[in-house]
Every structure is written in structure tokens, then in C-alpha cells.
Amino acid sequence: MSNLALLDETKAARIRDALWCTLVAALVVWFAAIPALDGNLSLYFSLMLWITMATGLNIIAGFTGYMPFGYVAFYGLGTYTTAILVVNLNVSPYVAIPAAGVVGILTAILFAPTLRLGGIYFAIVSLSLSIILQRLVGLAPDEWTGGSHGLYLGQKTDRIEGYFTMVLVMVAALLTVTWLARSRLGKALKAIRDDAEAADAMGVNVNLSRLYAWMLSGLFGALCGGVQAWFTGALDPITAFDILVTAKTVIYAMAGGLGTVTGPVVGTVILVWVDELIWRQFPILNNFLLGLIIALLILFMPRGIIGTLMQRYPRIRRFIM
């Protein structure tokens, strides 16, 4: 270990970047090869979906310090935007999914006033807004949203193209957080998280910085929803705005470690596998075990796997993104 300690900062940063890039590249190659290898498409699709969701949530929760307990709102609006455009207006998914992303960003701007709320109030309002949106979708005319039965994409569903689009969206999300972690904006966000007043005094534009973070989070949540609609081809208001979507996103991100770039990826990969194992073995107890994992994580490992490693072995901090 003493050799590691002697490495100078630029060298450490180079090793850190190389490690992270290797991890991302390995993931992308692995995921992209799955259809050719006849792998379990649904499993790997959901792995990518959750990596992207957890990474998107990490931008606002980890980097900026807000816990959006209604994060599913972006996801749900994304699925509905895509499905409505594709089913009702016959738009290509390649246009509909970016449109879902735009809706995500616009929703984030619409909900921006909630960012002035602290801690638990933000969580409760965010949760309420997601429920309001779910009910609004239920109230919308049935010929648009399909009412409580939801919408079916039918022949426009495309699992292969949807799968590769998910690879693209995941790569975009990972590149975005990589950039964010080294950028001025990312440092501003962490300063706001730790002490908003001090950050303001140092000349950080607090409102604008956290709005950017919120918009990025919203964008990736909505994109995930959009691709999910294309991949599975069916959606309804209950599952599209299910609070369990938020819960899983939060848990996967926390398990790895909020505020680190690697954390949400590691947490998702481990927990989705565990979830898959649990789901197969004990379908009845699935939610019980999910709840248990949540409780144990909060009580015994609130910083997550990566966060705890960094805390226990400060020397490796320089090598983890």
C-alpha cells in the first residue's frame, strides 16, 4: 500500500479514470453482446434500465442532496409520452423517446419551485406530485391514455432496437455523470449539498446549479420510461407510476453509494442479481426481502458499498470515481 500512497495526484487521477473507463467499456461490450449471444434479454435490459435510473437519481440525490421520493413521475411521464406519440400519432420511437426526454426536462422545470424545500418536505412533496400525475393520467381522455387499461404498442414494440437504445441511453447517463464529477457544475452541486449558504457566498449560483442537476435527473428518468415502453410494449397508470420504481431506484443507488459515480452501477448490478435470485426462489416474500434489504442498508451501511469502502480505506479514495 505504501507504493500507492506515494503516487502523485495526477497519476492517481489517471489510474482512477482508466479504472472507471475500463469498467464502463466492459459493461457496454458485455451488454451489447447479449443479443448476439442469445442471453436473457429482459434481465439485461432491466439491469441497464436500473443502472440508468440509479445514475439519474444520483445526480439530484447524491451530488445535490435532495431525495426525490416521486422520481417515478419522470419515468411514468416518459412511458406515456412515448406510448401516446407512437400509438396515437404514429411517430417513430426514435423521435418519441427524445420527446419523452424533453417532457422530462420540462417537468423538472415545472417542479423547480420544490427545490427550495429542505430535506423531508422535498421528499413528501415529490411523492405527492407523482401521485397527482398518476391520477391526472387516469383523468385524461381514454382515447389518448387508454384509461386504467393503459396502452399497447402492439407490432410497434421492438425488443432488439429497444434494447440497443437502452445501451445508448445508459452510456449517455454514465458519460454525463463522469463529466459532472469533474466539472465545475459537479463541484458546485457538492458545495450546495454540504452548505448552500457557504456555496452562495463563494459565488456559486445555487438556484441555477441545482436546477441543472434536477433537469438532468428528470431527463434520464423520462428516457428510461420511454425506452421501457418501447421494449415491453405495454403500460398502465398503476405500474408506470408505481412507488416501487422510486424505491428500487433509491435502494440500488444507495446500496452502491450516493454521491459516487461508480456506486449506483455497482449497487444496481449486485442488487438486481439478488432481486432476480429472490424473485425466482420466493415470489411471495419478494417484497418482504426488498424491505428487509432497505432497512438493513439504512441501518448498517447508509453510505453504501463504495462509500463504506472509501471511508474504511481512505487510500483507495483517489482511485474510485
Partner 1 sequence: MNEVLLLNAAIGGIVFGAVYALIGCSLNVLAGVLRVINFAHGEFIIAGSFFAYVLFTAFALNPLYALPLCAVVFYFAGRVLYYLLVPRLAKSDEPETSSFLLMFGVSLMMVSVMTWIFEADIRPFNFSFEPINVTFFTIQDAYGEGRHGRILVPTARLVALGINAIIIMGLTWFFYRTLPGKALRAATMDREAVQIVGINIHKLSSIAFGLATALAGVTGVLLAVVVPSIDPNGGPDIVLIGFIVIVLGGLGHPVGALVAGILFGFVEQFSNVMLQQAAAQMVGFIILVAVILVRPSGLFGKAVTK
Binding interface with partner 1 (CB under 8 A): 65, 67, 69, 113-114, 116-121, 123-125, 127-129, 131-132, 135-136, 138-139, 196, 243, 247, 250, 254, 284-288, 290-295, 298-300, 302
- Contact between residue 91 and residue 102 where contact means Cβ atoms under 8 Å apart: no
Q: Which is nearer to partner 1, 130 or 232 (CB)?
A: 130
Q: Which is nearer to partner 1, 136 or 277 (CB)?
A: 136
Q: Which is nearer to partner 1, 102 or 292 (CB)?
A: 292
Q: Which is nearer to partner 1, 14 or 116 (CB)?
A: 116
Helix (H, G, I), strand (E, B) or coil at 234: strand
Tell me the closest approach of the beta carbon of residue 114 to partner 1, in angstroms.
Answer: 7
Helices (H), the chain: 2-6, 9-33, 41-58, 72-88, 93-110, 119-139, 142-145, 159-182, 184-194, 196-201, 206-232, 237-240, 243-256, 262-281, 286-300, 304-312
Tell me the closest approach of the beta carbon of residue 297 to partner 1, in angstroms.
Answer: 8
DSSP output for 192-210: HHH-HHHHHHTT--HHHHH
Q: Which is nearer to partner 1, 20 or 214 (CB)?
A: 214
Q: Report how far residue 162's alpha carbon sits from residue 159's, in angstroms, rounded to the nearest whole number.
A: 5
Q: Report how far residue 250's alpha carbon sits from residue 232's, in angstroms, rounded to the nearest whole number.
A: 23
Tell me the closest approach of the beta carbon of residue 256 to partner 1, in angstroms.
Answer: 15
Cell of 54: 440509479
Q: Which is nearer to partner 1, 9 or 197 (CB)?
A: 197
Tell me the closest approach of the beta carbon of residue 124 to partner 1, in angstroms.
Answer: 5
Closest CA to 56 of 245, 208, 236: 245
Which residue carries 428518468 as its cell?
Answer: 221
Tell me the closest approach of the beta carbon of residue 255 to partner 1, in angstroms.
Answer: 12
Tell me the closest approach of the beta carbon of residue 6 to partner 1, in angstroms.
Answer: 33
With a CB cutoff of 8 Å and minimum separation 6, the contacts of 269 are 47, 51
